[in-house]
Amino acid sequence: MAQTGNTVSSTIDARPALGRDFRSLLGALVTLDHITGGLIVAPDGLLIAAQLPGEIAPEPLSALAAILGRELELRGPRLRRGTFPMAQFASGTGIAFLGSTPVGYIVLLGDARADRDTIRSALRAAVGTVHRAWAG
């Protein structure tokens, strides 16, 4: 939790090869303040990487994150097919961020105090890094 969002973003931006090293990529993102965990999941629900609190089972979460990601990817809320770079879903107690990449979805979980702008900025950088690593 020591790194700030900008530091994480800069680190991710500076290392395009990181876009194929999912565990390192996720490891950098979960150091953001008030982020409690995260995972990277393929569009078919396969769990690629996870750093979650012990009480959260990764498999059901990855299955649902992939369904949500695909739903947004295919139709979006307004039925317009295309990419959705990012989405956030808030409950009364916390927030989940979802970023779309060619290999699947990056999910970050945060508590209610999470700074949304900082996290969006870091997640955007991570999504861009994966896109660049997988382009061509």
Partner 1 sequence: MILARMWHTVRGERRFRTSVQVFRRAKRFRDEGRFEEAAALVASGLLLDPDNVVGHLLAGSLHAMLREMGKARTSFERVLALEPTHPRALLGLARIALEEGDTGACTDLVTRALARYPDFPEAKAVLDVARSLPASAAAKRPRSLEQSAIRADRLRLPAESRETLLARADATLIFAQPRGLRTEEVAARATKLARIASAMLARAGLGDSLNHAVIEGAAETTYLRADGETVLMLSFSGDAKVATALAHLERVWVNCRSELARQAAPNRVA
Interface with partner 1 (CB under 8 A): 20, 22, 42-46, 48, 53, 55-57, 59-68, 70-80, 82-96, 103-104, 109, 116-117
Structure token digits, residue 104? 């699947």
Whichever of 6 and 83 has its CB closer to partner 1, that residue is 83
Output phi, psi for 24, to 5 deg: -70, -40
Q: Which is nearer to partner 1, 2 or 51 (CB)?
A: 51
For residue 39, the one-letter residue type is: L
Shortest Å distance, C-beta 115 to partner 1? 12
Q: Which is nearer to partner 1, 91 or 113 (CB)?
A: 91
